[in-house]
Structure formats: structure tokens, C-alpha cells
Amino acid sequence: MARIKNIELPNEKHVCIGLTAIHGIGRSLAKEICEKTKIDSAKKVKDLTDEEIAKLRKEIDNHLVEGDLRREVSMNIKNKMEINCYQGVRHKKGLPVRGQRTNRNAHTRKGKGKVVANKKKAGK
């Protein structure tokens, strides 16, 4: 069982597909990693040798993946929210950020209404 970045790769899948189980590695990056390490991408994960797994680990260390990537993305979102840019405001309100329409769909992002700020009503 291959374990890279505390993620167990699925044994029955090809190396190229198995690497996509790691957050931050998609199909194209997985193919690129296989080419750089000279590992056949059609080989199953369970058939990898210890040296090949070590090569994969070393190559993946050169890329931003898993916890570091998640941390960077969340910091970028928090930064946008702090500076009150348009995307940050949309994140705060729980609305779609990238220009999608909201009158027909987007219930997955909108969901139940969120309280943005409690304002006191003006008394008489």
C-alpha cells in the first residue's frame, strides 16, 4: 500500500489515476509526475516498488499539495474578505463568487439565510 503525504493511494488503480487522490494533484499534473520519475502511468499502485514510491514522494514534495495548499487557499479567501474586495464580499454573504447568476440557481451556495450584521432598529 503506497502512502504519500498521509494519503493512502488506491491499490487497484493506475498510478496516474491513484495520484489524483492527493489534494492538489489532478490528471495532468499526475501524468507530468509520472513522466519526470520515469514510472509507467499504466502500472497499478500495488505493483510499485519502494524505490518508485520514494521517487514519487520526492517529486511530489516539489509541488504545493494537501495541507499547505488548503492553508494557502483559505488564507487567500480570508485576505479578500479583510480588504473587502468584491470577491471577499461575495464570500462573506455566501453567494457565488465568479459571476454566476443567482436568480435561478446557486441554492447550494446561498442555502439558508446568514446574518451579516445585527443592526438596531431606530426607536421612537
pLDDT at 101: 86
Is 115 domain-assigned? no
Q: What CATH number is associated with residue 85?
A: 4.10.910.10
- Is 116 inside any structural domain? no
pLDDT digits over 75-123, tens only? 999 999 999 999 999 999 888 999 888 888 777 776 666 666 666 666 6
Cα–Cα distance for residue pair 56/92, rounded to 1 Å: 39
Provide the domain count of the chain: 2
CA torsion 59-60-61-66 (nearest 10°) is: 180
pLDDT the model gives residue 57: 92
Q: What 8-state DSSP symbol labels residue 95?
A: -
pLDDT surpassing 60 at residue 124: no
Whether 30 is in a domain gets the answer yes
What tens digit of pLDDT does each residue of 28-68 get? Answer: 999 999 999 999 988 999 999 999 999 999 999 999 999 89
Domain limits at 97? 67-110
